[in-house]
Structure 1
C-alpha cells in the first residue's frame, strides 16, 4: 500500500507531465493550491478520501496502483469530441478538436460544440484531450493549456476561470 507521501510524488510527476501548475490543478480539483503543494511535498496531515480521489481522477490516476495504463487505453480526444457534440446539428471530429486546442482558434460552425467542451465536459476528459493534443502535436502541454485559456476567454465560457 502506498503512503500519502508516495501518492503525492506520483501526483506531482503526473501534474508536471500534463503541464499543469499547482494552481491550475487545484482549481480543476476544487482544492486550494496549498493543499496540492502540501500533498506533493508530503507534509499534508489530513486529506479526505473524496478530495484525494477527485484530484487523482482529474489527472487520470486512481488508487488501485497509480498507473497510466488504463488512461493510455482511452481515446481522450475522441471522447471529448463526442461529449462536445451532444444535441448539435454538426458533430465535431477529434481532429477538429485537436486543431482547435493546438491552434487556439475556433473552428467555423463549431463554436457551440467547443463551448460545450469547455463548460460541460468532465474535467478528466478535458485533461485527456489536452494531453493527447500535446503528444500528437509534439508540443508541451502548457502550450495547449494556454490555448484552452484563450478559447475560454474568446467564447465567454462559464468555466473560463478554470482555464485562465
Structure 2
C-alpha cells in the first residue's frame, strides 16, 4: 500500500468519524477542497509533506518515521507508561482552574452528552484549546473501553461544543 493511499484512507475515515465535510476540513487545514477530495480519492499525484502534515494534524493524525533498531526497542522498554488520554485531557482542561475536572467526569460528560455546571468551563477550554490529536485519543479510548462508535463520540463532542459556544472551527 502506498503512502498516499494510506493518507487518503485515513483522512476519509477520520473526517467521516468527526462529521466534517470536505469543505470544512479544507478550511481547517488551510488547503483547498479539491486537494482534500483528491487526497481522499487517492487521485493526487504529488502531495507535499507540508500539505500532508497540515491536513493530518488538523484532524489529529500524524505521519511517523520509524527506525527498526534493537537500540530503539530497548529504549522503549524503559519508558514508563503514560496517563490515559482521558486523564491527560482532563488535566489539560483543568490547568487554569482551582478545582480540577477528573477523567471520570470527562468520560461521563462525553458518554451522556451532558455536563454538570461545575465542569462546563473545563470542557469549553478542552474543546477549544486541546490538541486535536489528544481529542482523537480520547475518542479512541472511549471507543475501545465503552464500545461506543467513534462517530458518536465525535458527535457528543460537537454537541457539547455547540452548547458551550466553543469557537474552534472544528465544531462548526
Relative to the length of structure 1, the TM-score reads 0.77
Aligned to 2:17: 19
CA shift, 1:2, in A, is 4.4
Aligned to 2:146: 137
CA distance in 1, matches of 2:145, 2:28: 23
Does residue 63 in structure 1 map to residue 71 in structure 2? no
Residues 15-53 of structure 1 show CA distances to partners (whole Å, capped at 9, x for unaligned) of: 27x823452654554444432321121112343322211
Does residue 45 in structure 1 map to residue 54 in structure 2? no
Does residue 162 in structure 1 map to residue 160 in structure 2? no
Bigger Cα Rg: 2
CA distance in 1, matches of 2:89, 2:64: 24
CA distance in 2, matches of 1:152, 1:6: 30
CA distance in 1, matches of 2:30, 2:134: 16
CA shift, 1:55, in A, is 2.6
CA distance in 1, matches of 2:40, 2:31: 13
Aligned residues: 155
Matches within 5 A, 1:77-116: 77-116=86-125
Q: CA 1:19–1:116 in structure 2 vs 1: closer, same or farther (change >3 Å)? A: same
Unpaired stretches in structure 1, ≥5 consecutive residues: none
Relative to the length of structure 2, the TM-score reads 0.74
CA shift, 1:149, in A, is 1.5
Matches within 5 A, 1:122-133: 122-133=131-142
CA distance in 1, matches of 2:28, 2:49: 17
- Structural RMSD (CA): 2.8
